[in-house]
């Protein structure tokens, strides 16, 4: 259980008191639980939607779709402390700079945020918000519409963590040291196997939207492999920031696929 809590405390900002082990090996062993941690985040998303859409109406209160989508996105960001948004922003600053490999890595390590990072983050959040709005049920909506939103919000972090593990286990690390290097050094291919099995176990949670769930899983796998391959060609490998970037983009892709009718 220590490995699970190590990963949970690293990937989330949930108020959990646990004296986890923080050695590089412990961080590496936590990778096999990443999809399970994604499920914890997914459950939080679903409970937030349940409160907004089913609990508040009991008290004759209703949240408009635009405001509801904003609150759900806020919950999604707050539960991870914007950890992956930070990595995404740094990655886009580096990759879109048009510089040589070493300079890109320097830019990504810089604590300052550039125009490329800011613009990319705005587009990412706008994309997530817009898609959530598009599948957010209106007042008097059918059970199927409620279920579609819940399925998307639950599977979004689960499937996206698989994309992170694909990057960790199948691609080299670009730096000699770094916060994400322990994951790359100690995770191993078995972690990918267990994460994939975990995702398959949770996939039937969207049994009424299995076509979308299966398409999201396949789409994320293909996207993650192509994206990580592209970044590896640019940087010589991946970094902890790139792990965050592929996770954020995969979450957006899952939402987009569930929005397709």
Domain that holds residue 236: 2-259
- pLDDT score for 151: 95
Two structure tokens written together for 183: 């994951």
- pLDDT score for 143: 67
Each of the 261 residues of the chain gets a pLDDT tens digit; together they read 788 988 999 999 998 888 777 888 888 899 999 999 999 999 999 999 999 988 888 888 888 999 999 999 999 999 999 999 999 999 999 999 888 988 999 999 888 899 999 999 999 999 999 999 999 987 656 667 788 999 999 999 999 999 999 999 999 999 888 778 888 888 888 999 999 999 999 999 988 889 999 999 999 999 999 999 999 999 999 999 999 999 999 999 999 999 997
Q: How many CB atoms lie within 10 A of CB 123?
A: 12
- φ, ψ dihedrals at 238, nearest 5°: -110, 170
Alpha helices in the chain (DSSP H): 2-11, 24-29, 34-50, 65-80, 83-95, 101-109, 115-135, 143-170, 181-186, 189-202, 210-235, 240-259
Cβ proximity of 160 and 220 under 8 Å: yes
- pLDDT score for 225: 98
Instruction: Please list, in sequence order, all residues whose beta carbon lies within 8 angstroms of the beta carbon of residue 159, skipping any fewer than 6 positions away.
Output: 38, 199, 216, 217, 220, 250, 254
Two structure tokens written together for 42: 């997914």
Q: What is the value of pTM for the model shown? A: 0.95
Instruction: Please list, in sequence order, all residues whose beta carbon lies within 8 angstroms of the beta carbon of residue 241, skipping any fewer than 6 positions away.
Output: 86, 87, 88, 90, 91, 94, 108, 180
- pLDDT score for 40: 97
Cβ proximity of 167 and 232 under 8 Å: no
What is the C-alpha separation between 14 and 7, in angstroms, rounded?
A: 12
As for how many domains the chain has, the answer is 1
């Amino acid at each position: 259980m220590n490995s699970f809590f190590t990963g949970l405390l690293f990937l989330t900002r949930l108020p959990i008191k646990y004296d986890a082990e923080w050695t590089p090996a412990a961080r590496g062993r936590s990778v096999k639980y990443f999809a399970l941690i994604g499920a914890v985040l997914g459950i939080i998303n679903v409970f937030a939607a349940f409160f907004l859409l089913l609990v508040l109406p009991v008290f004759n209160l209703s949240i408009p779709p635009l405001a509801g989508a904003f609150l759900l996105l806020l919950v999604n960001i707050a539960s991870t402390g914007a950890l992956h948004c930070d990595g995404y922003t740094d990655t886009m600053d580096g990759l879109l700079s048009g510089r040589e490999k070493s300079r890109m890595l320097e830019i990504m390590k810089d604590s300052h945020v550039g125009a490329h990072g800011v613009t990319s983050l705005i587009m990412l959040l706008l994309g997530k918000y817009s898609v959530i709005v598009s599948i957010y049920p209106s007042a008097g909506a059918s059970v199927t519409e409620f279920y579609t939103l819940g399925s998307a919000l639950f599977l979004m972090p689960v499937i996206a963590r698989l994309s992170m593990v694909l990057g960790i286990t199948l691609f080299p690390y670009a730096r000699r040291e770094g916060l994400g290097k322990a994951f790359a050094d100690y995770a191993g291919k078995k972690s990918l196997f267990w994460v994939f099995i975990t995702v398959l176990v949770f996939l039937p949670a969207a049994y009424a939207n299995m076509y979308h769930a299966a398409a999201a899983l396949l789409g994320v796998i293909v996207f993650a492999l192509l994206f990580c391959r592209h970044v590896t060609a640019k940087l010589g490998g991946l970094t902890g920031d790139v792990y965050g970037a592929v996770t954020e983009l995969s979450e957006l892709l899952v939402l987009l696929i569930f929005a397709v009718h």
